[in-house]
Amino acid sequence: MTEFPPSSSIKPVSDCVWSQSDRAALLQGEILVQTRPHSAWGGAVTAQMYLPIARSLTWQHLTDYPRWVQFFPDVIKSEVLHWGEGKRLYQVARKAFLFFTAQVEVYVNVFEILGQQIQFQLERGSFLDFAAVLKLQDCDSGTILTYTVQATPIVPIPSLFIQQAMHLELPANLRKMRQLLCV
């Protein structure tokens, strides 16, 4: 079990206390999303969804990092470069915008708390900064997945556009993930 480094650049996801309506929405399949600015041209998003499968099974699927190309359609490569106490990943994503296609790559260090949380910290890549935390919590007979991402691209894009893209794309990606995990 790996502890997270104390200099984590992402705000930790706290234990969630859901209102009755939020809990009901999650259990009915909705994905709850909150965006916020992160920097002058970056954004942050937290999304939550309910998975009707046990946390241990969810964990097994999520830590199969090469499989992330199936969960996130824009991710075209997800490769584990180092196994062991700490993992290191290389990921490449490609996104088409109107008349051009952008490709980004990241090398991230991965820190896991077995069955509970995965933290991704940028080592280097196509972002000024990038960090993510994926947290799993038991809920009824399933699991609540909370995914928080914050990033600032190297190319200056207004924060509002980044937030809007995150708000639209992360729920779609999580729906795809749920579809694949719950077959």
- Give, in order, the Cα–Cα distances in Å from 126 to each of 82, 90, 92, 93, 182: 20, 12, 10, 10, 32
pLDDT at 9: 46
Residues in the chain, pLDDT under 70: 1-18, 97-98, 158-159
Domains in the chain, ordered, with CATH?
20-181 (3.30.530.20)
Name the pTM for this structure.
0.84
pLDDT at 102: 79
